[in-house]
């Protein structure tokens, strides 16, 4: 697995800055309360640079929830896993490292925004799709000699379906440092993942 080059890192940093600017503007003013020009001014880039990354402000807003950073760190973790690690072992690490508290909170904010601005919905689905594709590609690269492609695709799809309730708030989890609210049934995030992957390992 090759680590990202400097050019790719710079491109991702630019995309993330634009997405974060659009996301914050959407929270502050609503999706109808700003235009692309406001995004590029806040992020410090040109409109042409924006067009090189995003087709519209809705796409930029949604992509703020996609984790642009931490790929090399994740590669280091995967490369240290035992040789007999299974796709489930790798998927567990992928989920732990990519679905951070920030990502889940941002996805929840996007879902809330989409209720007032339905034009966001297809771009949110695209973010979820990118999560799944990244997982599929990772598993395929690592296990193509031992597992059929349909297995790794099914596993990645099952993982995304299982974590989706975290994004719309149907399942509440607690991250390190958070305290449970009295009267709620929220479980620690690590415990939720262990339970989820227990189902994937042993069946429902």
What pLDDT score was predicted for residue 2? 46
What pLDDT score was predicted for residue 27? 96
Q: Please provide the DSSP assignment of 27-57 as one string.
A: HHH-GGG--HHHHHHHHT--HHHHHHH-SSH
Q: Which residue ranges of the chain lie beneath pLDDT 70?
A: 1-5, 69-72, 74, 204
Model confidence pLDDT, tens digit, residues 101-137:
888 999 999 999 999 999 999 999 999 998 899 889 8
> What phi and psi values does residue 187 have, to the nearest 5 degrees?
-110, 155
Model confidence pLDDT, tens digit, residues 46-65:
999 999 999 999 999 999 99
CA distances from 102 to 38, 55, 86, 106 (A): 24, 24, 28, 6
CA 74 – CA 92 distance, rounded (Å)? 12
pTM of the model: 0.85
CA 129 – CA 101 distance, rounded (Å)? 19
What pLDDT score was predicted for residue 72? 65
Nearest to 16 by CA among 91, 96, 70: 70
What pLDDT score was predicted for residue 77? 76
Nearest to 146 by CA among 89, 204, 77: 89
């Amino acid at each position: 697995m090759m680590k990202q080059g400097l050019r790719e890192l710079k491109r991702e940093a630019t995309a993330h800055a634009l997405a974060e600017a659009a996301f914050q503007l959407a929270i502050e003013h609503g999706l109808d309360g700003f235009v692309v020009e406001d995004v590029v001014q806040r992020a410090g880039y040109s409109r042409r640079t924006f067009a090189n990354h995003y087709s519209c402000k809705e796409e930029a807003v949604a992509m703020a929830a996609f984790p642009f950073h931490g790929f090399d760190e994740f590669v280091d973790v995967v490369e240290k896993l035992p040789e007999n690690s299974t796709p489930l072992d790798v998927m567990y690490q992928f989920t732990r490292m990519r679905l951070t508290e920030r990502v889940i909170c941002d996805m929840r904010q996007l879902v809330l925004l989409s209720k007032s601005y339905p034009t966001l919905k297809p771009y949110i689905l695209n973010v979820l799709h990118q999560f799944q594709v990244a997982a599929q590609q990772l598993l395929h690269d690592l296990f193509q000699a031992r597992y059929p492609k349909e297995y790794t695709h099914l596993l990645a799809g099952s993982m995304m379906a299982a974590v989706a309730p975290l994004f719309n708030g149907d399942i509440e989890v607690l991250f390190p440092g958070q305290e449970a609210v009295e009267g709620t049934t929220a479980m620690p995030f690590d415990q939720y993942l262990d339970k989820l992957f227990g189902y994937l390992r042993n069946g429902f």
